[in-house]
Every structure is written in structure tokens, then in C-alpha cells.
Homo-oligomer: A and B are copies of this chain.
């Protein structure tokens, strides 16, 4: 049975790939390849699809667990049909419990809770209003009734649909409004044929509550996935990615091409790219997280807004790094002499900012005050001062071509920008640390610090 589904998905992907290829070929060479080739192509695709699925599971085993949980929740609510006493009380209304489980059960607790609460409240509110509408319509006689009902349905659908465009509402209550439209229409229209509207509302509300609570209970009790924890980790890991880039940048930039290896083979330097587009993901996780109850180190009213602020500053830093990355592989490189003059200072700036970001990331992960980060930031700031002195002291002789200074000057300037960004990030992480009363652990500065020639500067 599953084979059908999988074949459908594969052929869908396949068709899509085929269409991409067609487009690539300039929309000219349409048509089917010979059947033998096609069958081989399908086999390859099937193999690729399964390897892809296995990789999805390996990347995040919680996905496999979630799928099993979804299956379990659905099987549990289907007991309403199989078990005679339960079926007796609900009858076909048990269907609503099944529907609720299918649409409400989401990956994280926050998303499930948000949808569940939205669905429950919207059903209650819409059910109540629909009963009122039904009573009003009843007063207008057999001919007037459908007209009045139709008018109500039109009005509420139009107004609710319009309200869904409001971004603040859309972020948190979009699903609730959808269910509001759905329930109001269903109940008020059904009322025209079935006079036991209250009974209908009652059954629907109860089954929705049962379905919703099944989802929430399974979601919370069995290997819960907390959106808040995910957001927390995402913010920390994004910072770490930038840190990794900066730590590696100095050596990579100042390494001369004749050192052997090609510069292009540095996948660890490309990790920051995912940070550039992380806004949507962060916003969604923060929206889900706000529904979540207290869990582990996270309170109910955890300052998620502050996480978003840190995320925005991290992205700002990532934009600078994107510009820096462009210089890593630029065609025009500065002269070796000029580069070597500022190499040490620039490498230190980059390295210290990178370490600061990694320390900040670690501070968030472990919820410990980021003292060590402050030291690295001070180090990078004093390196910036050294760079200033170096630049003032006349780095070049009269014959130096300014054109050859430009790339180095730009890299230096971008690194100075990065230091500013890092300091801003550190400030907002400190704000978070104050809000959440991060643990205080005395910083231990690694001995390598002195090797960089930077003074050890006290915590600011």
C-alpha cells in the first residue's frame, strides 16, 4: 500500500526533475527518453529517494520518532470507532477527533499546542455564535432562513478572511480563524437541516477537545520536541558558524596561493551561508515557543523576543562576513609585502572575534555568563587600535600603489565592522544573561592568548 504512495511521490519528484531539465535544455528538447533508459532513470530516482529519506532520518532521528508518534496518536483516536461503548456515545462525530489529530499534530510541542488551542477556542467561539445565528435565522421563517443564514456565512467568511491578512494575527491565530470560518459555516448551515444544533456543537467541541488533548499529551509526554529549545540551539549554532568562519578566515586570506592547495576547498568556511536566510525559521520557532509551558531551563514567558534580537544582529554580522568571503576568492589580491604587514593584526582581530562569537554561542548553550567572550572582544578591540596605529605609522613607501592597498584596506575595514557587530551581539547576549540570570562561572583564559601579542585585558 505504501508502495503506491512512495511511487507517487517519486514520480512527482521525477516529473519535477524532468521538467527542470527540460527548462535547462531551453524548452526545446521535449519528449520521453526510450523506455529502457526511462526505467533505469526511475530506478536511480527510487534509489536516490530512499537514500534521501534515510539521510533525513539520520540527520535528525527525532523525525522518525515524530512519525511514529503521529501514527500512534491516530491509532489511539481511531479506537472511538472500534470500541463499541465509545462509538455509541459519539457515532460518526468521532470523525472530528480523527481529523483534529491529523491536522493538529505537529513536530514541536509549541506548534501542536498552538494549533490545538486555536482549534479548541475557535470551535467554541464559532459554535456559540453559530447557535445564535441559527436562532436569529429561525425567526425569519422557512423562506427567510436560508437567506439570513447565507448572509451571516458570507459576512463572517469575508471579515475573518480579511482579518487573516493582518501580520500579527496571521503569526499566531491564522489557524484559529480558519477553524472559526469552518465551524461557523458548518454549524450554521447544518442547523438548517438538523434542528439539534446544540447537540451538534456539543459533540463537535467534545471530539475536537479529545483529538486535541490526545495530540498534546503524546506530544508532551513521549520524547517531546520543544520549539523553544530548537530556537535556543539555532541562535547559538548560527553564532558558532560565524565564529568558525572568522577563526579560519585570517589564515585562509593571508595564505599565499603557492602554498599548494586550492583555496576553494574549504567547506567549513561556507557554513555561515545558512545564517543569511535564517529569519523565517527563527520567527516561526519563536511563534511556536511562545505557546510552550515551562520546560527544563525555559519558563513560560521566556524572553523569546530577545532571541530574535540576537538572531537579527547575528544576521547583520553574517552580511559583513558574506562581503569578507567575497575577498577570500577575489581575483585581485594585494601585494604580499602589504599583506604581510597587517597579516598578524588582522588575523588576531578575526581570530579573537571568532573566539568571542564561539564563547557567546557556548554561553547561550550552557546558560553561563559570557565573561570569556568579553575578554576576546576587548582583545579584538585593542587589535583594532593596533591596526589603526599600524595604518597611521605609514605602512608603505612612496612607490606603493594605492590600488594594491585597496583590497587589504577593505578586508581590514570589514573586520573592524565585524568587531562592532560582535560587540553588539555580546551586548544583547549579556542582556539575555541578565534576564535569565545565567550562572556565573569565573572565566579561565587559555594561555594561547599571550602568544598573539595582545595584552590580557580585564572584563569590561
Contact = CB atoms under 8 A, between A and B. Distances in A.
Interface of A: 1-2, 4-6, 8-9, 12-13, 16, 19-20, 22-23, 26-27, 52-53, 56-57, 63-64, 66-68, 70-72, 74-75, 78, 81-82, 87, 92, 95, 98-99, 102-103, 125, 129, 132-133, 146, 149-150, 152-163, 165-166, 168-169, 172-173, 178, 180-182, 185-186, 189-190, 192-193, 276-277, 279-280, 301, 303, 305-306, 315-316, 319-320, 322-323, 326, 388, 391-392, 394-396, 398, 401-403, 405-407, 409-410, 412-414, 417, 435
Contact of A78 (B162, B189, B391, B402): B189
B8 A125 contact: yes
Contacts of A163: 5-6, 9, 53
Contacts of A5: 125, 129, 156, 159-160, 163, 180
A146 B82 contact: yes
B4 A162 contact: no
A154 B16 contact: no
Contacts of A388: 403
Copy count, this protein chain: 2
Q: Is the interface of A mostly helix, strand, loop or mixed?
A: helix
B402 A391 contact: yes
Contacts of A401: 391-392
Given A82-B192, A181-B74, A319-B322, A156 B410 contact: no
A406 to B, nearest CB: 5
B402 A407 contact: no
B301 A82 contact: no
Contacts of A301: 19, 22-23, 27
- Candidate in A2, A133, A305 with the most chain B CB atoms within 10 angstroms: A2
Contacts of A414: 323, 410
Given A277-B279, A406-B413, A407-B413, A173 B9 contact: yes
Contact of A391 (B75, B406, B435): B406
12 contacts: A1-B155, A5-B160, A9-B166, A67-B158, A75-B150, A81-B190, A82-B150, A95-B190, A103-B178, A391-B402, A391-B403, A406-B412
Given A13-B169, A401-B391, A185 B98 contact: yes
Contact of A9 (B27, B169, B326, B392): B169
Q: A-B pairs with the 9 shortest C-beta distances?
A: A71-B158, A410-B413, A409-B409, A67-B162, A82-B146, A71-B154, A67-B161, A71-B157, A280-B280
Given A71-B161, A74-B153, A92-B193, 15 more contacts: A1-B133, A5-B129, A5-B180, A9-B163, A12-B172, A71-B155, A71-B158, A81-B193, A95-B186, A277-B280, A319-B322, A323-B323, A392-B402, A395-B402, A402-B405
Nearest to A342: B402
Contacts of A193: 81, 87, 92
Contacts of A277: 277, 279-280
